[in-house]
Amino acid sequence: MKGNQTMPNTAIRIQQFTKEYPVPRQKEKRVAVSNLTLAVPTGGLFGFLGPNGAGKTTTIKMLLGFLPPTVGEAWLFDRPVGDDRARQRVGYLPEQPYFPKFLSALEVVKAHAGLSGLAGNRAKERIELCLRQVNMWDNRHMILSKCSKGMTQRVGLASALVGDPDLLIMDEPSSGLDPLGRKELRELLTALKNDGKTIFLSSHLLSEMESVCDRVGVMARGKLVACGTPAEITRAGDGVRVQIEQAERDEVLNTQIADWGGSVEAAGEGSAYLRVPSALVYKVMGLLETRRARLVAVTSQRETLEDAFLRLVS
């Protein structure tokens, strides 16, 4: 069946999603997501970033049909999200995966294999493969109430993967995992991506996401404030950072730099950092010479994803 389906080239298409939650005893509603339009192409890893309360989980819940949007529509592989079959090719890892407490890891993953439409030997193979992928095969008979948080997270990951979905939607997948687990998760995500799967994950662990994301969308207060490749979002080094040493604080130099639109940041011990537009770098050199400041280093300034994130959401 799967082979015959032609693959649409957008995995997720969201049009003007808005979600308002009623606030008890108040007339005004709390807007969790406002007018969000977004398209996620098939293949690659899309990082859905945003601070706490930005509306990431709410968006994901609307995508999976848990919540109806107040306004707007969305499609998963060109099927409207209101249709239960839209989730046929989707694997989902909730923010905090919880499973029935008295079941074993194997029973849970088996149930999810069945719900994904797998049966017989194919189901058996997938169950074993996925439990091994998340390092839970040896603990497969463990009852979930006795599992640690990270182990539950791994079981959740295995049940999301077991149906061999084309699109994985994950809400904070690395929460609860130790550094080793996170590294394994990154490797797993990269392997899945190389397999042609589309991954849509929400996170606020930016330094981690920077290395694996192909595209990112940044949410703040319910609005999409930026969307594109990490290179497009981080401000290209429009400026340079000049490290200098000077005998004493030089007001003339500082005023001139400020006039040129730069800034001076004292770093103690007579050293300071100047941030100036890169076009003015030679002018600054001349100024340094006349003001008798010693040049230590000139570095081009490129924002990390974290810097960009902080700039965008503030």
Partner 1 sequence: MQALRNIGIIGRITMLEGARKQVFHVLMLFAVFLIFGSASLAKFDQHVQMKMLNDLCLFCVFLVSSIVAITITVTGVPGEMEQKTVYPVIAKPVARWQFICGKYAGAMGTVAIGMAIMAATFTFLQLSYAGHLDTAMFYVLPFLYLETAILAALALWLSTWASWPLAWFLSVLLCLLGNLKFPLYDSLMSRPQSGFNRVAITTLYHLLPNLESFNFKDAMVHHLAVPNAYLWQTAAYGLFYTAALLTLASLTFARKEL
Query: Minimum CB separation from ligand ATP for residue 256, in Å?
Result: 44
Region near partner 1 per CB under 8 A, out of 92-100, 173-181, 242-250, 293-301: 92-100
Residue 52 binds which entry of ligand ATP, partner 1, Mg ion, none, CB below 5-8 Å type-dependent: ligand ATP
Token representation of residue 196: 């042609």
Which one of Mg ion, ligand ATP, partner 1, none interacts with residue 67, CB within 5 to 8 A by kind?
partner 1
Query: Which position among 34, 133, 152, 159 is part of the footprint of partner 1 (CB under 8 A)?
Result: 159
Select from 135, 134, 146, 52 the least CA-distant residue to 95.
52
Residue 308 Cα distances to 104, 214, 220, 264, 303, angstroms: 43, 16, 13, 21, 6
67 near 61, Cβ under 8 Å?
yes
Residue from 47, 55, 156, 239 that binds partner 1 (CB under 8 A)? 156
Q: How far apart are CA 245 and CA 213, in angstroms?
A: 39
Instruction: Supply φ then ψ for residue 219, to 5 degrees.
Output: -105, 145
58 binds Mg ion (CB under 5 A): no
Residue with tokens 């997270």, as numbered in its chain: 153
Nearest to 239 by CA among 204, 272, 264: 264
Residue 154 contacts which entry, ligand ATP, Mg ion, partner 1, none (Cβ below 5-8 A, type-dependent): none
Size of interface with ligand ATP, in residues (CB under 6 A)? 12
Whether residue 62 contacts residue 19, with contact meaning beta carbons closer than 8 Å, is answered with yes
Binding to ligand ATP (CB under 6 A) within 34-53 occurs at 50, 52-53
The residue whose two tokens read 């046929």 is: 88
- State which of positions 1-40 bind ligand ATP (CB under 6 A): 21, 30, 32
The partner in contact with residue 58, picked from Mg ion, ligand ATP, partner 1, none with C-beta cut-offs of 5 to 8 angstroms by kind, is ligand ATP
Contact stretch for ligand ATP (CB under 6 A) within 56-64, 107-115, 116-124, 160-168: 56-64
CA distance 60 to 68: 11
Give the angle 114-117-119 at the CA atoms, nearest 5°: 65
Select the span of 90-98, 130-138, 176-184, 214-222 touching partner 1 (CB under 8 A). Answer: 90-98
298 binds, among Mg ion, ligand ATP, partner 1, none (CB under 5 to 8 A by kind): none
Report helix angle 281-290 to 251-259, nearest 10: 160
| Residues 179-218 contacting ligand ATP, CB under 6 A | 204
DSSP labels, 145-178? GGS-HHHHHHHHHHHHHTT--SEEEEESTTTT--
For ligand ATP, the binding residues in 101-120 under the rule CB under 6 A are none
| Tokens 């503030």 -> residue | 314
> What does DSSP say about strands 271-277 and 294-301: parallel, antiparallel, or unpaired?
unpaired
List the one residue from 13, 34, 54, 57 that touches Mg ion (CB under 5 A).
57
Asked if 63 is part of the footprint of ligand ATP (rule: CB under 6 A), the reply reads no
Q: Which does 102 bind (CB under 5 to 8 A by kind): ligand ATP, partner 1, Mg ion, none?
A: partner 1
Alpha-carbon distance 295 to 284, whole Å?
10
Binding status of residue 90 toward ligand ATP by CB under 6 A: no
CB closer to ligand ATP, 13 vs 56: 56
* Distance separating alpha carbons of residues 171 and 203, to the nearest angstrom: 7
Binding site for ligand ATP (CB under 6 A): 21, 30, 32, 50, 52-58, 204
Q: Which residues bind partner 1 (CB under 8 A)?
A: 61, 64-68, 84-88, 90-92, 94, 96-103, 107-108, 111-112, 114-117, 156, 159-160, 163, 169
